[in-house]
Amino acid sequence: MIAYVTVGADDIARARRFYDVVLPALGYAVSEGPEGLSYTLPGAEERGLPDFYVKPPFDGRGAAPGNGTMVAFEARDQAQVRALHAAALRAGGTDEGQPGFRASYGPRFFVAYLRDPQGNKIALFSSHPDDPARDG
């Protein structure tokens, strides 16, 4: 079970502008301390859900995204995927894949990809059964 995920950031204020338009909309609460940002879901500990941290690297060197590393967040529906992708771009993110279906995934997997201001890759997805499917 994943307990937490951490991504590095050199500019915490810039990272917060980005993540604060995405994660609170998905139900996360944020706290900021001298070590960086902590995003948690209500009842996460009891439900075994991972926390998400944004922090400067512990070794003191510059933060760098991992090659092949991506963190995916589930949205409630396709409309929220679209809205959060657009908001994240306005908040300093860069596009890595517009919202939509991908041929290599299931017919209900609707996803958008972007990078945070530090270059960490983020996916926003929904598989809501009431939303339209790729083939229908």
Q: What is the pLDDT of residue 49?
A: 85
Write out pLDDT tens, residues 5-38.
999 999 999 999 999 999 999 999 999 998 999 9
In three-state secondary structure terms, 28 is: coil
Q: Can you name the CATH fold of 4-57+68-126?
A: 2,3-Dihydroxybiphenyl 1,2-Dioxygenase; domain 1 (3.10.180)
The half-sphere exposure of 81 on its side-chain side, counting CA atoms within 13 A, is 27
Q: What is the pLDDT of residue 136?
A: 57
- Nearest residue to 92 via CA among 12, 24, 27: 12
Q: What is the pLDDT of residue 122?
A: 98
Residue that is written with structure tokens 């500019």 in the block: 11
Spans of the chain below 70 pLDDT:
136
Task: Identify the sign of the CA torsion 119, 127, 25, 44.
Answer: negative
